[in-house]
């Protein structure tokens, strides 16, 4: 059974930019796991605790059981999600910490796509409309659904940040009043973890807004008729206010983009050592496992457990990886 890992390692990173970047993201992921473990303690591990919490949400009594349909295409996409998760986890079984450290370059890509495919199958099964096909559409779908009481998501998956700079609104943090002013160098503990996640979502939203500025500025002109070189503050705030809330899944997308296009070196060289790198990989993998479990519980209720079990039967998981795959979670549905 998969177990969550609480952040370990030194409180401060090394002197390089790569070490700072790695430490920051490792802290965000470990904080998510630490907070989840504190919210849903269970004698058999955190996934059973998450499963109990998911099943206790309002959707379970208000959604007709066994009335949904898992199409052939939906089943294929769901198996793609499970297969991608197996690939993500394989370094944890097939090699030592050195292999895991190397695998961290691609782990954010695999983690994001495992979630992307699972959410696509979720959307296909719960909506008569076409599922989101672009990353932007998928992330917007996620931000809409994590806060909906008729979906199975629980804290911290419900955590989101909306609004414009200077007026950010933090929702879905349960009973916690998040403080995003916390230092990114703080060790993830039960007390600091909700605030570290709030900081992660805030900085992710900051980055999203910066990425949008060129398109928001396009076509704007000065009084003299020249193209504007800067974006008026009022325009920035108005556009940012209309953006979908930023969620944990935007953080996964942010990591996926950085690993491919921006700061892949930080994921390879920023760790203090193999054990530090393994903490990053385990936290990322465990977030994926809990996310997929949430989707699986909902779909098992909606389409019937036998249907979902038949879908799993079509997935050829190597026995050595059973404990790090959907097969280890079926008893929790």
Report the pLDDT averaged over residues 203-213: 95
Residue 180 pLDDT: 95
Tell me how crowded residue 327 is: count the other CB atoms within 10 A of its CB. Answer: 17
Which structural domain, as residue segments, surrounds residue 287? 17-332
pLDDT at 19 over 80: yes
Does residue 126 sit within a domain? yes
Does residue 6 sit within a domain? no
Report the pLDDT averaged over residues 246-254: 96
Report the pLDDT averaged over residues 235-257: 95
Across 54-58, 115-119, 257-261, least confident range:
257-261
Report the pLDDT averaged over residues 99-123: 93
Does residue 77 sit within a domain? yes
- Number of folded domains that form the chain: 1
- State the pLDDT confidence band at 219, using cuts at 50, 70 and 90: confident
- State the pLDDT confidence band at 63, using cuts at 50, 70 and 90: confident
Does residue 1 sit within a domain? no
pLDDT at 259 over 70: yes
Express each pLDDT in 177-205 by its tens digit: 999 999 999 999 999 999 999 999 999 99
Report the pLDDT averaged over residues 62-76: 89
Residue 129 pLDDT: 59
Residue 12 pLDDT: 61
Does residue 129 sit within a domain? yes
Contact 249, 238 (CB under 8 A): no
Across 8-17, 31-40, 248-257, 306-315, least confident range:
8-17
Report the pLDDT averaged over residues 15-26: 87
pLDDT at 172 over 60: yes
Residue 318 pLDDT: 92
pLDDT at 5 over 80: no
Express each pLDDT in 71-98 by its tens digit: 999 999 999 999 999 999 999 898 888 8
Across 3-12, 54-63, 237-246, least confident range:
3-12
Report the pLDDT averaged over residues 38-42: 97
Does residue 45 sit within a domain? yes
Between 137 and 84, the more confident residue is 84
Does residue 8 sit within a domain? no
């Amino acid at each position: 059974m998969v177990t969550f890992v609480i952040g370990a390692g030194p409180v401060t990173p090394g002197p390089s930019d790569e070490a700072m970047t790695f430490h920051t993201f490792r802290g965000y992921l470990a904080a998510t796991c630490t907070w989840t473990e504190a919210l849903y303690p269970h004698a058999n591990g955190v996934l059973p605790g998450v499963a109990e919490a998911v099943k206790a949400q309002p959707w379970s009594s208000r959604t007709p059981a066994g009335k949904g349909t898992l199409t052939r295409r939906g089943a294929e996409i769901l198996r793609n999600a499970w297969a991608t998760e197996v690939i993500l986890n394989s370094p944890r079984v097939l090699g030592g910490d050195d292999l895991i450290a190397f695998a961290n370059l691609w782990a954010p890509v695999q983690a994001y796509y495992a979630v992307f495919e699972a959410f696509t199958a979720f959307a296909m099964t719960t909506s008569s409309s076409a599922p989101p096909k672009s990353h932007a559409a998928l992330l917007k779908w996620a931000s809409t659904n994590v806060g909906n009481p008729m979906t199975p998501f629980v804290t911290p998956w419900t955590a989101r940040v909306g609004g414009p700079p200077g007026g950010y609104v933090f929702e879905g943090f349960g009973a916690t009043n998040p403080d995003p002013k916390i230092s990114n160098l703080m060790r993830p503990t039960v007390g600091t973890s909700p605030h570290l996640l709030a900081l992660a979502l805030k900085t992710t939203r900051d980055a999203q807004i910066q990425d949008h500025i060129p398109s928001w500025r396009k076509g704007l002109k000065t009084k003299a008729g020249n193209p504007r070189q800067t974006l008026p503050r009022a325009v920035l705030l108005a556009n940012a206010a209309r953006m979908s809330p930023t969620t944990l899944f935007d953080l996964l997308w942010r990591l996926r983009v950085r690993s491919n296009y921006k700061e892949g070196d930080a994921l390879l060289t920023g760790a203090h050592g193999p054990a530090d790198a393994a903490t990053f990989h385990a936290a990322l993998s465990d977030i994926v496992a809990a996310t997929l479990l949430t989707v699986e519980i909902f779909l098992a209720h909606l389409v019937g457990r036998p249907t979902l079990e038949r879908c799993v039967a079509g997935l050829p998981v190597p026995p050595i990886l059973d404990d790090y795959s959907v097969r280890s979670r079926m008893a929790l549905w």
